[in-house]
Every structure is written in C-alpha cells, then in structure tokens.
C-alpha cells in the first residue's frame, strides 16, 4: 500500500503520522511538499519536495510510484494543486480524498468583512482603517502596494519580496500564536484593522479573538472551492476513516 499525501500544513503532518501508524506493515506513506518554505517541518514517513509539473506530471508520478490513494491535505488557499490533484487522480485512476480544516465562523462582537480576493481586500481597506495587520502570507502583497496612505505590519514565515506596500514593517513568525501575543501586537503597533485568509484551525485563530477584544474590523478572504465530487474530511482522524472506506470501495 502506498499513500501520497499532498502536504504543507499542520494537519498533513499529523495525517502522515496517523497513516504511518495505521497502515499495514510494509506500506509507504509519502508526503509531498511544494518547497516554498526554507527549512520546513518534516512529517513522519517519506518526503518528496517540489512541483510535479501540472496535473499530467502528478498522474505520471502516481503511476510510476504505484500509488494506491491520494490525499490532498494542502492549505485551503492552495487552489491550483487541489485542481491538479483532482485531474491527476482521475487520469491515473487513483482514489482521491481531501483533508480541509473547517473555516472560521464569526461570533458575537465580530466585525468581519468577507471578500473573495486579496485585490478586493485592498479595495475595502481604506474605508476601514489606517494601520493594517496583514496576515495573508508573503505572497500576493503586491495587491496592497498602491495603498500609500496606509501603514502595514506584514507577518509571514519567510520574508516577503517586492512588490509590497511602501509603508510596511515585516514580522517574520510561524504559528501557533497566543492570544496574549496577538493582543500585544495590536496594542503596540496601534493596529486598527486586520486582514486574514479564512485559513481555519486553532494555531492562528487567536488574532480573531484579539481583534474582537480590540473592537477592530477584520477583512476575511474567503476560500477557493474544493473541486467538485471530492470527498472531504475535516480532521486527520476522519481522513484515515474515509481512506479505509474509499479503498474498500476501490478494491
Ligand atoms: N496558499 C497558502 O496560503 C498556504 C499557506 C500555508 C501553506 N501552504 C502550502 O504551501 C504549498 C504551496 O501553496 P500555493 O498556494 O503556492 O499552492 P498552489 O498555488 O495551489 O500550487 C501552485 C503549484 O505549486 C506546486 N505545489 C503546491 N503544493 C504542492 C505540494 N504539496 N507538493 C508538490 N507540489 C505542490 C504545484 O506545482 P506543479 O503544478 O508543478 O505540480 C502547484 O501547481 C501547498 O502545499 C500548501 O499546502 C499554502
């Protein structure tokens, strides 16, 4: 049995660990990373790093390495690889399931402004605040580059590269983050608006509670859709059960 996990998330690492423990002796669990982050945290099992060369390249990899099941456990905002996974798995006749942590839900006291893209986030920002805590990652900051009247605190694992806003301070950091830490950042930098993707999960959720407490608005970028027809698990444990079901049906 050989399972390929498309990873790059905390959940994907946990899933790889569960699979290594749960699959029969002699099975292989390979995690695939895009190679975007310098010094990534490595999951248990085997690891390969780098793109496949599109859906066709992924299909070829699945065949060459005799993969029995593919699990797309990539980040909810990694939209391209998820569509390649669907097309590649179909072409190679390999069962596919997705692991997606549930999105965040606003609660009482939240002032959320949902948008569909970083460009739309940039368009609504000037009406909401002047000192922006930008937590959407190092890629795509060019969308905010024209907003010269605003100041940005941009937090990301690796340092961003231009284009990015003229008035921007960078904050290299990798979650999990704490409520105390997020409160302190908002206070110290006099942040008056937060921008986030709807990534879901507990590791980066404290910024939302801190924004609620500080009564500042939050611009929330919605997720791209999961490809149609793909079975979705919300947690690594569910993904293991779903995999058993899928393989039961596939054999
Ligand atoms: N987007 C985010 O906000 C975010 C946040 C945290 C972590 N991540 C992780 O970072 C990785 C890249 O994210 P992205 O938004 O750049 O993805 P993306 O736009 O969906 O994918 C772009 C290309 O990167 C390659 N790729 C992506 N994930 C891969 C994987 N797990 N293994 C091998 N190749 C992969 C594929 O190249 P080929 O076409 O050549 O195969 C894909 O076409 C993902 O694995 C994701 O889980 C993303």
DSSP 219-230: EEEPPPPPPTT-
Pocket test for ligand 1, best of 74, 139, 176 (most atoms within 8 A of CB): 74
Closest residue by Cα to atom 28, ligand 1, is 34
Close Cβ partners of 135 (under 8 Å, ≥ 6 residues apart): 155, 194, 195, 196, 197, 204, 207
Report how far residue 240's alpha carbon sits from residue 67's, in angstroms, rounded to the nearest whole number.
16
* Atom of ligand 1 lying closest to residue 6 CA: 31
* Atom of ligand 1 lying closest to residue 81 CA: 20
Question: What tens-digit pLDDT sequence spans the chain (251 residues)?
Answer: 999 999 999 999 999 999 999 999 999 999 999 998 888 999 999 999 999 999 999 999 999 999 999 999 999 999 899 999 999 999 999 999 999 999 999 999 999 999 999 999 999 999 999 999 999 999 999 999 999 999 999 999 999 999 999 999 999 999 999 999 999 999 999 999 999 999 999 999 999 999 999 999 999 999 998 899 999 999 999 999 999 998 886 65
DSSP, collapsed to helix, strand or coil, labels residue 166 as: coil
| Full-model pTM | 0.87
DSSP, collapsed to helix, strand or coil, labels residue 156 as: strand
CA of 78 to the centre of ligand 1 (A): 5
């Amino acid at each position: 049995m050989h399972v390929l996990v498309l990873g790059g998330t905390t959940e994907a690492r946990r899933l790889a660990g569960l699979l290594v423990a749960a699959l029969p002796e002699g099975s292989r669990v390979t995690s695939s990373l895009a190679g975007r982050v310098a010094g990534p945290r490595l999951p248990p099992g085997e690891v390969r790093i780098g793109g496949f060369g599109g859906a066709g390249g992924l299909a070829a990899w699945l065949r060459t390495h005799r993969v029995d099941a593919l699990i797309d456990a990539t980040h909810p905002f990694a939209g391209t690889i998820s569509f390649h996974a669907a097309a590649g798995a179909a072409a190679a006749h390999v069962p596919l399931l997705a692991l997606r942590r549930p999105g965040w839900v606003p609660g009482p006291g939240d002032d959320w402004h949902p948008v569909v893209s970083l460009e739309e986030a940039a368009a609504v920002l000037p009406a909401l605040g002047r000192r922006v805590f930008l937590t959407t990652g190092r890629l795509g900051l060019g969308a905010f580059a024209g907003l010269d009247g605003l100041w940005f605190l941009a937090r990301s694992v690796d340092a961003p590269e231009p284009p990015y806003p003229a008035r921007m301070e960078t904050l290299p950091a990798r979650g999990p983050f704490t409520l105390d830490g997020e409160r302190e950042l908002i206070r110290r930098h006099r942040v008056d608006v937060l921008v986030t993707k709807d990534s879901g999960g507990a590791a980066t959720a404290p910024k939302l509670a801190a924004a609620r407490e500080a009564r500042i608005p939050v611009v929330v970028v919605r997720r791209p859709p999961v490809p149609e027809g793909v079975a979705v698990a919300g947690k690594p444990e569910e993904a293991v059960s779903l995999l058993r079901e899928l393989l039961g049906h596939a054999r």
